[in-house]
Amino acid sequence: MQNGIFILDPTAAYSNITGVKKNSSEKSNFMFFPNPASDVISVNYKTQNNSKLELRNALGQLIFEQTFNGPVSDYIDVSKYANGSYVLSITEKGETINKKLIINH
């Protein structure tokens, strides 16, 4: 170990940070219930733009897809899907919001 004065620059370690866009307001606009679900889920998303709703299983396989022109307010029958974890996604203007859905019959 060396004796002396050491000057640490905490900003040097973070010099190449890329920006992360906050989308908390968009996430709060994307809602569905109930979760966990057994039969049908209600999906709502407030937007004036075109959007695409997708449901994927734990393997990432697309099992449901629907497009909307404007606000999303729809029901999805999940009774035909096996118990497990799924990802419900809404994509608008190239940006996607993912939320976890549990199906348990």
Give tens-digit pLDDT for 13-45: 555 556 555 555 556 789 999 999 999 999 999
| pLDDT, position 23 | 52
Residue 11 included in any domain? no
- Decide if 85 is inside a domain: yes
Mean pLDDT of the chain: 86
Identify whether 82 is part of a domain. Answer: yes
The pLDDT value given to residue 4: 73
Is residue 6 situated within a structural domain?
no
Identify whether 64 is part of a domain.
Answer: yes
Number of structural domains found in the chain: 1
Residue 74 lies in a domain: yes
User: Whole domain around residue 88: which residue ranges?
Assistant: 50-105
Q: Is residue 54 part of a domain?
A: yes
Cβ neighbours of residue 18 closer than 8 Å, sequence gap 6 or more: none
This prediction has a pTM of: 0.74
Amino acid at 49: N
Say if 36 falls within a structural domain.
no
CATH number of the CATH domain containing 70:
2.60.40.10
Whether residue 103 has pLDDT greater than 80: yes
